[in-house]
A and B are shown apart, each in its own frame.
Chain A
Amino acid sequence: MHPAFSVIFLTTLIGAGQGLFLALFTSESYSAVGLLPKQSHTFYAIGGFLALLLLIAGLIASVFHLGRPERAWRAASQWRTSWLSREVIALPTVMGLVFLYATIHLFEWNPMFLGYGFGDKITLVLGGTAATAIFILFLCTGMIYAAIRFLKEWSNPLTIINFILFGGASGFMLASAYSSFYAPELVNFFGGWAIILTLSVWVTRSASLIRNARLKPTSTIQTAIGVRHTKIQQKAMGMMGGSFNTREYFHGKTALFLKSIKWIFIVLSFPLPILILWAGMQFDQQPLLISAFVIQYVGLLFERWLFFAQANHPQNIYYQTV
């Protein structure tokens, strides 16, 4: 497929935003049971708004993917059948819940329900709801790709697992950089989880790379045009200057280019940020923590580019003389 930068930015930005919120909520629930020191409301409020900012940035990027964004509201209507429609509902829901969570922390609200005050628990309840919504959003985003059975590179549970783990890894990376400003005692907690998540996604993404390398196409030129012969060559595609079919489904790069992107993404997403983060935690260096997140995010852009470019659509069989 042709990698569209709008979708690359959408999936990586909201992934990091979702991961950052999960990191914040994890630390808040840990401190609720006394496993971590309690943090100020401002810490969660600013972190929550930072996550919201990433989600909004992702939403803005997604608008560039649409031909007629002014009709985007219609996209919520087919939630019964379309994972894209489900994502269109889940994303604003997550944004709304994250906004509420951050606002309640910011103003330290303690709303009373039927004469009962929740105290600090209201944000825990809200955070739990938001975290659930975030996992649903991850599922929707992953299923948009995994549900297309024609693209065998995507049509696999690993797609969803990778989306969740990549989002989590970059979110916890960002959380450890963020906490170095407001809650230095949490840096190692977030950093530790960031390393665990990065290592796990290293395993699962490698598994999908290995799987993709061994895939055999279901359709062949023989089934595509219905002629039983081992030697069939396309001589004309039916147009001269290319068409939507020759632009949308091809990355237009060489195999060597793809291979180089693969190694760039592997180095930038996994070993390099882990090393830098570890050094940052070890030597208490804030710039290292920030660059660990930035480097991994850049690595994720390469990863997502390859994710699209590697998917080989069966319609390409009809357009072989590109």
Chain B
Amino acid sequence: MTQLALVIDLNVCVGCHACVTSCKEWNTSGEPGPLVDENPYGKDPTGTFFNRVQTYEIGEFPNTETLHFPKSCLHCEEPPCVPVCPTGASYKREEDGIVLVDYDKCIGCKYCTWACPYGAREIDEKQKVMKKCTLCVDRLYDEALPESERKPSCVLACPTSARLYGDVHDPDSEVSNAIREEGGYQLMPEWGTKPSNHYLPRRKTRMHIHEDELVRADNPLKQEDIRHETSKDVTLDDWF
């Protein structure tokens, strides 16, 4: 079983929103029609996006840390939004685990948004149907694209490679390795939705200096001092 997903490395995300704009650009130009934008240049611009980057401040001044947090559909392995759909418009693909909405079947009742704890779905106010991250399913299998570009738009756009894409069910994939070795975790694990997307935590590289190292008990110069006493022979190093 394949489960395609994203792994987002919060350690390298710089919060540039390149994934947001690239996602919007790709998905507003596709076959299902544009993603709505209201007042795009006005006072309160709003619209449908599949991906958002949020910013959090952790800690209290002066000990604070900024966390940029990209947020999109997590393509849960137990998606609670799917069984509640009355029309069957919401579904999880058997072959690759992507959770999708059939825009031709959706009646826009918004019941699925009530059943998603992450708020990952946004209604298109113009088309009046529910929309959500498709993991760029229209790129992944498009043989007209070079193989290196058969990836979600956001992944290709990320300048710091904070977004990894792959099969989280394949234990040897890049994403599975990253989750296993870099401490990948899921959002709101308490609900048992088993999100496929994982996040890699912020990691700090710290130098550990032991006190012994400061006083230099093993100072090599001291070793040289000892040398005079250990040898009675005349050597080239003797100065007098």
Contacts and interface: CB of A to CB of B under 8 A. Distances in A.
Interface of A: 1, 65-69, 71-72, 74-78, 81-85, 88, 144, 147-151, 218-219, 221, 223-227, 229, 231-245, 248-249, 313-316, 318-319
A88 B88 CA distance: 14
Interface stretch (B106-114, B158-166, B174-182, B230-238): B106-114
A319 B54 CA distance: 9
Nearest to B102: A74
Interface string B46-60: 111100111111111
- What 8 pairs between A and B have smallest CB-CB spacing? A67-B108, A315-B119, A67-B128, A238-B52, A241-B44, A81-B83, A85-B86, A75-B86
Given A234-B54, A234-B56, A240-B44, A83 B188 contact: no
A320 to B, nearest CB: 9
Given A78-B86, A231-B58, A84 B119 contact: no
Nearest to A247: B46
A75 to B, nearest CB: 4
Interface string B82-110: 01111111000000000000000111111
Contacts of A151: 114
Contact of A315 (B84, B116, B127, B186): B116
B154 to A, nearest CB: 13
B173 to A, nearest CB: 21
B117 interface: yes
B191 A71 contact: no
A81 B53 CA distance: 33
Contacts of A235: 55-57, 66
8 contacts: A68-B107, A83-B84, A85-B86, A236-B54, A238-B20, A241-B45, A248-B123, A316-B119
B26 interface: no
B84 A81 contact: yes
Nearest to A76: B86
B197 to A, nearest CB: 12
A232 B52 CA distance: 19
SS of B interface (majority): loop
A61 to B, nearest CB: 13
Residue from A78, A242, A249, A313 whose CB has the most chain B CB atoms within 10 Å: A78
B87 A223 contact: no
Contacts of A149: 80, 191
Interface residues of B, number: 64
Contact of A72 (B45, B58, B107, B190): B107
Contact of A219 (B67, B87, B117): B117
A314 B84 contact: no
A227 B188 CA distance: 11
A76 B89 CA distance: 12
Contact of A82 (B17, B85, B106): B85
A223 to B, nearest CB: 5
A169 to B, nearest CB: 26
Given A78-B86, A149-B191, 17 more contacts: A67-B106, A71-B107, A77-B86, A82-B85, A82-B111, A147-B84, A223-B189, A223-B190, A225-B56, A231-B59, A238-B53, A240-B44, A240-B45, A243-B47, A243-B48, A244-B48, A244-B113
A244 B112 CA distance: 13
Contacts of B191: 149-150, 218-219, 314
B86 A67 contact: no
B88 A78 contact: yes
Given A67-B109, A219-B191, A241-B43, A232 B56 contact: yes
A69 B107 contact: yes
Contacts of B110: 65, 67, 248
Contact of B85 (A65, A78, A233): A78
